[in-house]
A and B are shown apart, each in its own frame.
Chain A
Amino acid sequence: MSGTGLLGDFEQLVLLAILQQRADGYAILIRREIEEATDRPVSRGALYRTLDRLAAKGFVRSTLEEPSAARGGNPRKRFSVTPTGIEALQRSRSVVGQLSRGLDDVLGEAR
């Protein structure tokens, strides 16, 4: 399934955070990445629901790793962004870029 339309704010943050993790796209690390960048706490429930939604749209895939004793015998899920997800990110970035054109004097230079 592939999604159409723009990504929501939080969906963008989640996808970018997964990409930042490279091979270690684990939920705990994704959440910390977003919290560091936004300097605000992130609800775990909201994160997991967003990951589910992104997976349903085909923007994210996940693999279950082996259970471990350190996690109470529970497995760990590793997330990665699909090519469709990358396309969606690029689309959102492009739209933001278009709408931001000519607004440097108001918004300041992009960092």
Chain B
Amino acid sequence: MNGPRPPRVAATLLERLIGPEPGNASIIGDLHEEFCELRSRRGRAVAHSWYWWQLLATGVAYARPVGGFVERRRHDVRFSIRRLRREPGFAAAVVVTLGLAIGAGTAIFSVVDAVVLRPLPFEDAGSLVRVLATNTEGGNAESDLLYADVPVFGEGMSTLGAVSALSTAPRSLLDERGENPVGVIVARTSGNFFELLGITPVMGRGYTEGETDVGDRLVVISHGLWTRRFGGAPGVIGRTIHLDSRAFQIIGVLPHGSSYPFEADVWRPLGLDELEDDDREAQLVGRLAADADVVVAREEATAVAAALASDFPASHSGLGARVEFLQSTVVRDVSTALFALLGAVGLVLTIACVNTATLLLARAASGSHEVALRTALGASRTRIVSSHLTESLLLAGLGGLAGLLLGKGLLSFMLTVSPDLPRMNTITLDGRVIAVMSSVTALAGILFGVGPALHAASTPPDRTLRDASRSTTPAGRRLNVQSGLVMTEIALSTVLAFLALLLFSTFQSVVAFDRGFDPAGLVSVIIDPSHPPEDGDEQRALFGGIQERVGRLGGVTSVALSSHGLLERRGFRVPVSVEGEEPPIPTPEAWVNLVSRGFFSTAGIDVVAGRIFSDDGGVEGDAELVVNERFIAAHLSGPDTGLGSRVDLDWIDGHVVGVVRDVSVSYSAPAVAKAYISLERFTAAGVALTVRTAESPAMVLPEIEREIQAVATDVLLEDVTIIEDALSTAVAPQRFNMLLAVAFASLALTLAAIGIYGVTSFSVATRRSEIGIRRALGASNGRVGGDVARRIALLTGAGVAIGVGAALLGARFLSSLLYGVAPTEPRIVFLVALVLSVTAVVAGAVPVARAIRLDPTDSLHGG
């Protein structure tokens, strides 16, 4: 068959709908003929859209009834549309309720699907693993491997088919002329890295094992870097870039969204000298051999680590290892939070369904006569149920459509305010998300529709037809069901409010965390000269000159120099031995920072004991060491050690003159044992400049950069950071989680309030006669109003009790998200109860007032 063809799926469905009789093939032929004509006149897209529309317009309209099934469904749909058009307010309320919940669900699920659920975009991603080193003497905390260990694991583990070493580091990338620096993450890997992961560059090629040995200066760049930096130009292969003043040639570009690690922009082969480096910072990425069992792999990794620890006690003491799938290591930092948010949005959707069911039940009260009439005229129970279910599915479909549109907008907004997530550039609202949310929508429609549908069909018609609004029997039963539903809503809202309060407390604690220094008005800049100073005089001229010029700027109160930036957790790694103490095995370690004398006062780091460097900084003779509290606890906590102790730090030794506060940027990264030594004793290749300003850092920063460039034009400025901004970014995940949880809780509370209002109003309406009689007999406003209020209080109290119980049970799974707050804290429980009580009071105020104002005469006359 030549010529254009209609979309295959639509054509197949059409044939199924219309039926296999030979005569019906002419209908398919007519549509095919019209499709071809339309395609030649209006193009492919219009013709395809038209054909899909014919699936509905002609296929469904003409469909051969299967025992009348299609005919009846058509009737149900027409009937439901007519009914909903008569009640636009009700339909709008349901569609908005569902749309909000499904919209939120769509946005969150899009993120969860792309970040956590979807397999990594590598060949046979399920067999990729990482071997992680652990410190068995440090509570099995993760530690790094040596590059030289990687092939040992590779050879010692028969369950691994291939392994590759990997490490990352931030570098400055410059163009061919050595200008226009930009910060990038560079991944250094073994030569078989791309082959191991099964990544094929979209342009050029990857490097190979042979090129590692020769130490060629070759790089492969990410798709993102190619578009951002090179404008996506095809001629990028062969161009030169500089990484920290070393030239590299670009040989390949990776596909979009298909790179590891995800934050890297440049990949280069590890050189031989690096492979022998004993700096611990290598990752091991491997692929399980065919039919290999990961349990066996874990046992093998433990055995190899134990052998290394036994053979090399000085460097590998306490080494352990574990094997994890690569996918779980990528997402483990965020998966708990994301699944918690998905759970929260699931609760919101459940509340929306319960709310809709309540609305349907309330509406059924007014429609019960119509149902009774249909039943009396011969409609079967099944027919009544299917009719109501069709309406529910129609409402769910409209809500789902609104939700998908809202979800698309919400997702775009979320991506602009969200903290960095792994695989973030692959997050999108695609067919898979639409398919899942459509199924969820259909399920929601059945969930909230089946109850009211069964309820409607179960009421005997004669009773309903006889029943005036005075009798409460069928209405009373309906009220109990509604009350139960509202109590469920309140319980679910309580859970969400609980979660929101916990995350809010966590955020408060994280923000208030004592970092050990004063971040207000602080700025940090890394200064990297192209020609580093060769001696102390040159160093003083260069860095001292910069310090002086910046110090004279208006608004600058203090300037200091250091070997490492304030936000850098570590520094130079050194072994530690204390004079007069038996050296333990393994050799303990600490970190050294070289700092100028004014560093502590500039950064606002308090001295807790002793003093800082003397005027000459201990430049000559015995070095003066200032250590932090963690150093004292780790190395100088003995009875004869402390201030004044002599400490040997490999390339320097000296005596401890002072102790300062621990500095840590985040509660999740506690301080390490650190020793500070005067910068003047050494010649540094580059320094970090820390500046405290009394004015807005953003205003002063450009001037600081200008002053630095005025002293030396060939310096590279990196990591130019306003400290408060960096700290704010560091807590972005907690802020984001908190904001979303609060948003969901607010939505849930609004829905619960609507539910309370609805069921209380219905209760008052159905008991009008009874209330009227009581008022006629002398009941006061207080008695009448109190009765209604008591009912609300019972509902709310029961719902909150159930909700708190459920929240306490579930909160233990969220402990990794919490800081500074325990789920069982009484104040959290109290606040939750308070929030729900206020919600109930606000929601119930109008129905209570209505009950109080009820005129006994009107109610007794059946008004």
Binding site for B on A (CB under 8 A): 26-28, 43-46, 48-49, 62, 64, 67-77
Contact = CB atoms under 8 A, between A and B. Distances in A.
B5 interface: yes
Contacts, number: 70
Given A45-B62, A71-B33, A76-B29, 10 more contacts: A28-B34, A44-B57, A46-B61, A62-B23, A64-B26, A69-B2, A72-B11, A72-B32, A74-B26, A74-B29
Contact of B26 (A43, A69, A70, A77): A77
A44 B154 CA distance: 68
Contacts of B2: 69
Contacts of B32: 70-72, 74
A96 B11 CA distance: 43
B5 A72 contact: yes
The 5 closest A-B pairs by CB, nearest first: A45-B61, A74-B29, A71-B29, A72-B32, A77-B26
Given A45-B58, A48-B58, A49-B62, A70 B23 contact: no
A69 B3 contact: yes
B28 interface: yes
Contacts of B6: 72
A46 B57 CA distance: 10
B25 interface: yes
Interface of B: 1-3, 5-6, 11, 22-23, 25-34, 36, 54, 57-62
Contacts of B26: 27, 64, 74-77
10 contacts: A44-B54, A44-B57, A44-B61, A48-B27, A49-B61, A64-B26, A70-B32, A73-B1, A75-B22, A77-B23
A27 B28 CA distance: 12
A108 to B, nearest CB: 36
A73 B32 CA distance: 9
A72 B62 contact: no
A74 B28 contact: yes
Contacts of B29: 67-68, 71-72, 74-76
Nearest to A55: B23
Main secondary structure of the interface of A (DSSP, over half): mixed
B62 A48 contact: yes
Contacts of A46: 61
Nearest to A78: B26
Given A62-B23, A64-B26, A45 B57 contact: yes
B23 A64 contact: yes
A107 B707 CA distance: 96
A46 B23 CA distance: 16
Given A28-B34, A45-B57, A69 B1 contact: yes
Contacts of A77: 23, 26
Contacts of B36: 70
Given A43-B57, A44-B58, A49-B62, A70 B33 contact: yes
A70 B32 CA distance: 8
A45 B59 CA distance: 7
Given A28-B30, A45-B58, A64 B1 contact: no
A28 B31 CA distance: 9
B57 A72 contact: no
B202 to A, nearest CB: 38
Nearest to B4: A72
A27 B25 CA distance: 13
Contact of B30 (A27, A49, A64, A69): A27
Contacts of B58: 43-45, 48
B797 to A, nearest CB: 57
A81 B23 CA distance: 17
Contact of B22 (A28, A45, A64, A68): A64
A46 B54 CA distance: 13
Contacts of A62: 23
A3 to B, nearest CB: 20
A79 B33 CA distance: 17
Nearest to B37: A28
Contacts of B59: 45
A77 B36 CA distance: 18
A62 B22 CA distance: 12
A111 B682 CA distance: 111
Contact of B28 (A28, A64, A72): A72
A43 to B, nearest CB: 6
A70 B5 CA distance: 10
B18 to A, nearest CB: 9
Contacts of A72: 1, 5-6, 11, 28-29, 32
